[in-house]
Structure 1
Amino acid sequence: MEELIVSVVELKGSYASLGLKQSEEIKSSRLFEQLDLLQTLSTNSNSAKAQEILKTVSPGILEELKGIANGLEMELDLIVKFYSGYDVSFPPMGCTTFVNDDYYVRNYDFSPELYDARLVFCNPTDGYASVGFSHSVIGRLDGMNERGLVVGLHFVNNHDNEEGFIATTIVRMLLDQCGCIKEAVDLISNIPHGYCYNYSITDPSGVGVVVEASPQKQVIRFGNSLACTNHFESETLQEKNRREIQGSLKRNEYVRSLIKKKLSPISLYTNFNDGNSPLFFKYYKEYFGTLHTVVYSPKDLFLTIGVGENCEPIMISFKDYLNGTFTLPSVIKGKININ
C-alpha cells in the first residue's frame, strides 16, 4: 500500500488572481513536473481558437489562464495549450456515479501519475463558489457549487474526436456559471466537445440528468434516480461506445441495485469506497484505479470524502466554509495498492 495525499486548496478573488495564486502552487509542487506531459498531450492544440471561444463561452477561465501565464512568466499561447483542455489528447479513465433525490455519490478511477491530487475550494469574484477535485489545475473531475449544482464526468470514447474542449474544462465551466440543471444543460449544448463523455448532473431539486455528449450531438436523460458509468445508453449514440463495455455495464447494473435499497449517505460511501466493492478498482498502472470517493449533498451543501481504499470519511460543510465557520484540513490522506 502506498500513501496518497490530496492537497486542500483555497482560491478567492478575481479570476486573474486565482490564476496568479495557482502559478505559485505550480512552481512549488509536483504540478510543475506535469508541464512536459501537458506539452506532449497538447501538441496539436490551437491556442488562438481556444482563446477566441473562451472569450465568449467562459471569459473568466481565460482571465485565470492569463494569471497563470503572468505568474509563470510564460507565453499565454503556451499556457492556453497546456491548461485550457482545448483539442488535447488524453488516456481513457473510469468513473461510476449514483444519483438519487438527495445525494450524488461517485468514484473516480484513473492513475495517480496523472492525478492533480487537489481538492479545490474556489470562490471567484464573478462566478459561483465551488468545491471539486481538479485536473490540469483549472479543470474539474467533479464538483458542487454554492447553488447545489453537482457535476461529474465519465469518459466514453476518444476515437470519434473533433476540435473542442476536454470534459474537465467543461465541468469547471458549468460549476462556475450555472445555478441549476436547466442552465447547465443549456450551456453544455453551446460548448464544442472534443471527445465522447457522459456528464452526470443534479441540483437541490432532486432531479438527476445524464448528458450523453459527443462532438457531433448531445442526448439528455432525466430521472430522479440515475446510474452513470462509461458508456452511452441512448440508441442514437450507442454506435460511439467502445467495443468492450462489459465492465461499464456491470458497474451500472450494480449501482441500479443500490438505488433500490434506499441507503444512507454513509452506507453509499462504504459501498463505493470498500476495497472489495465491485465499484472499487486497483488497476492503477492501467489507468483504472480508484483514487477518490465523494458524496455530494446538494440540498445542504455537505461533502463526504475519501481518498484511496477504505478511507475513514472526511465530512465537510461547504455552507459553513462559505460562512467562515468551518476550518478546512490542509490535506486528505489515504492508501492505494498499486502492485
Structure 2
Amino acid sequence: MYHPRLYGEFYDMGLKYGTLLKEKANFVLPNISNQKTEFGLESYKELQKFYPEVVEEIKGFAKGIKDKPENLGAFLLSLGIFDTTGQCSVFAFKNKDSVIIGRNYDMLFDFKKFTESSLIAPKEKYSYISQSDVFIGRSDGINENGLSIAMSFVNGTEVQAGIGFHFIIRKVLENCSNTEQAIELVQETKVASANNFLIADKSGNIAVVESAPQKSVIRRPEKNENFIYLTNQFITKEMKPFDRGGVEWSKSIERHNGLKNNLKSVENMDLQKAKEVLSDKCVCLDLKKEKFGTIWSVVADLNELKIERAETKPKPTNYKPETRLEWWLKKRNK
C-alpha cells in the first residue's frame, strides 16, 4: 500500500503525485475501450461543473505522467461502471460519548498492488485520511472534523454519464463538516451508478444514502438500534427496484447478517471490538477460488480522530495506527 502525503494547491498535488509515479514506476494510463472512453469523456464534462478544483488536480497529474487531462479524466470516470467491482462491508456504532466506524474493502487480490492510503490536505479545504485503489479518487475516508464516509457498490439497473463515487467521496471529505451536509451533497449529485454511502460524524449522526441515477433514499438506524451498516444491496423498499442483484457470489446477504448479529451483541463499541467484527468469518471475505476478498480494513474513533488500518486481510491483531492526520494538524496549527 502506498502512503502519499499531498497538500497545497490542487494542481500542485496532482503534479507532485503524477511526477512521482512516472519517475519511480514509469506509470502510464491503461488502455480502455471506446465505450469507456466515450462514457468517461461525457462524465468528465460533468466533473468540471461538479468539482472544478479536482479537475485542476487531474491536469497536474496528467502533466506529471505526460498525458492529456481528458485521457486521465475519461479513465478515472469510467472506473467501476462497466466491470465487476468491489464488494464491501461498513458499519457505524454510537456509544454514549463516542462514534466508532469500521470498513472492509473487498476486491480482487491483484488490486492490492494499487492500493494507497493518503493524507490529503488541499489548500482552504478540510484535510483527511482516505483509502483507494486508484490515484486521485477515494473509496472511504475520515476528515479533520470527525466526519467519515465509505461506499459500497450496488449492481444497479442503470448508469449515466455523471459523477463516480471516487469524486463524491472526495468532495464530501474536503467540503463537509457533518453528516447532514454530506447527505445533501450526495443527494444533489448527478451520480453515474448505484452505490451505498455510509456517513457518520462525531456527534452521533449516522446514516446510509442509497443512491442510484434514478433517485436516492436516506436510511437511518432502526428503532432501538444505535448502529447502522451496509453491504452490497439496497435495503429500502423505495430503492429495491433499482437493484439488479446478482451479488450472491460475494456473500452480501451473509455479510449483512453477520454485521447485524455482531453489532446487536455489543453494548459499548471500541476499536478492538470493531476489529473483531470486521475479522469475523461471516463479514470478512476470503474467496480463494475467485481470488477475491478483503484487501484493506479501517477502524476509527471519530471523536478522538484515532484511526487504525489493516493493509491486508484483517485480523484483530494486525492493525497499525494511522498518525499522519494528527501530524498534519499539529504542523498546520503551529
TM bucket (normalised to shorter chain) is 0.7 to 0.9
**Unpaired stretches in structure 2, ≥5 consecutive residues:** none
1:8 counterpart SS class:
coil
What is the CA RMSD across the aligned residues, in angstroms?
A: 2.4
Instruction: Report the residue type matching 1:120 in the other structure.
Output: S
1:290 counterpart SS class:
strand
Q: Name 1:95's counterpart in structure 2.
A: 88
Does 1:111 find its partner at 2:113? no
Structure 1 residues 279-288 or 111-120, which shifts more?
Answer: 279-288
1:193 is aligned, of 181, 191, 194, to 191
**How far does residue 169 in structure 1 lie from its aligned partner after superposition?**
2.1
CA distance in 2, matches of 1:26, 1:145: 25
2:125 counterpart SS class:
coil
Quick check: 1:86–1:163 contact (8 Å CA) kept in 2? no
2:67 counterpart SS class:
coil
Q: Name 1:314's counterpart in structure 2.
A: 320
Q: 5 Å matches for 1:85-164?
A: 85=78, 88-101=81-94, 102-115=99-112, 116-164=114-162
Structure 1 residues 141-150 or 241-250, which shifts more?
Answer: 241-250
**How far does residue 232 in structure 1 lie from its aligned partner after superposition?**
0.3
**How far does residue 253 in structure 1 lie from its aligned partner after superposition?**
1.5
CA distance in 1, matches of 2:158, 2:235: 17
2:154 counterpart SS class:
strand
Indicate how the Cα distance of structure 1 residues 83 and 207 shifts in structure 2: closer, same or farther if over 3 A, else same.
Answer: same
CA distance in 1, matches of 2:54, 2:207: 25
Q: 5 Å matches for 1:179-190?
A: 179-190=177-188
Query: After TM superposition, which residue ranges in structure 1, 4 or more long, deviate above 6 angstroms?
Result: none
**How far does residue 235 in structure 1 lie from its aligned partner after superposition?**
0.6
2:121 counterpart SS class:
strand
Structure 1 residues 87-96 or 219-228, which shifts more?
Answer: 87-96
Q: Which has the higher contact order (CA 8 A, sep 6+)?
A: 1
Instruction: Report the residue type matching 2:121 in the other structure.
Output: N
2:329 is aligned, of 308, 323, 337, to 323
CA distance in 2, matches of 1:169, 1:29: 26
Indicate how the Cα distance of structure 1 residues 142 and 173 shifts in structure 2: closer, same or farther if over 3 A, else same.
Answer: same
1:42 counterpart SS class:
helix
Quick check: 1:209–1:220 contact (8 Å CA) kept in 2? yes
CA distance in 1, matches of 2:183, 2:86: 23
**How far does residue 130 in structure 1 lie from its aligned partner after superposition?**
1.0
Indicate how the Cα distance of structure 1 residues 31 and 314 shifts in structure 2: closer, same or farther if over 3 A, else same.
Answer: farther
CA distance in 2, matches of 1:184, 1:80: 24
Indicate how the Cα distance of structure 1 residues 133 and 319 shifts in structure 2: closer, same or farther if over 3 A, else same.
Answer: closer
Structure 1 residues 160-169 or 146-155, which shifts more?
Answer: 160-169
Q: Name 1:21's counterpart in structure 2.
A: 16
**Unpaired stretches in structure 1, ≥5 consecutive residues:** 1-5, 326-339
CA distance in 1, matches of 2:143, 2:32: 27
2:16 counterpart SS class:
helix
**How far does residue 88 in structure 1 lie from its aligned partner after superposition?**
4.7
**How far does residue 316 in structure 1 lie from its aligned partner after superposition?**
2.4
Indicate how the Cα distance of structure 1 residues 30 and 228 shifts in structure 2: closer, same or farther if over 3 A, else same.
Answer: farther
Q: Name 1:335's counterpart in structure 2.
A: none
**How far does residue 319 in structure 1 lie from its aligned partner after superposition?**
5.1
CA distance in 1, matches of 2:132, 2:92: 21
1:7 counterpart SS class:
coil
Quick check: 1:41–1:89 contact (8 Å CA) kept in 2? no
Q: Name 2:36's counterpart in structure 1.
A: 42
Q: Name 2:292's counterpart in structure 1.
A: 288
Indicate how the Cα distance of structure 1 residues 192 and 30 shifts in structure 2: closer, same or farther if over 3 A, else same.
Answer: farther
Q: 5 Å matches for 1:217-228?
A: 217-223=215-221, 224-228=226-230
Indicate how the Cα distance of structure 1 residues 38 and 292 shifts in structure 2: closer, same or farther if over 3 A, else same.
Answer: farther
2:158 counterpart SS class:
coil
**How far does residue 72 in structure 1 lie from its aligned partner after superposition?**
2.1
2:76 is aligned, of 83, 88, 95, to 83
Q: Cα deviation per residue 1:192-238 (whole Å; 9 max; x = unaligned)?
A: 11111100110111121100001110101123410111100111111
- Point out the structure with the larger strand share: 1
**How far does residue 86 in structure 1 lie from its aligned partner after superposition?**
7.6
Aligned length: 316
After TM superposition, the score normalised by the length of structure 2 is 0.86
Q: Cα deviation per residue 1:44-92 (whole Å; 9 max; x = unaligned)?
A: 2252x44443333212111101111222222221121122458953323
After TM superposition, the score normalised by the length of structure 1 is 0.85
**Identity across matched positions, percent:** 24
Does 1:229 find its partner at 2:223? no
CA distance in 1, matches of 2:207, 2:165: 16
Q: Cα deviation per residue 1:288-307 (whole Å; 9 max; x = unaligned)?
A: 31101100221111101112
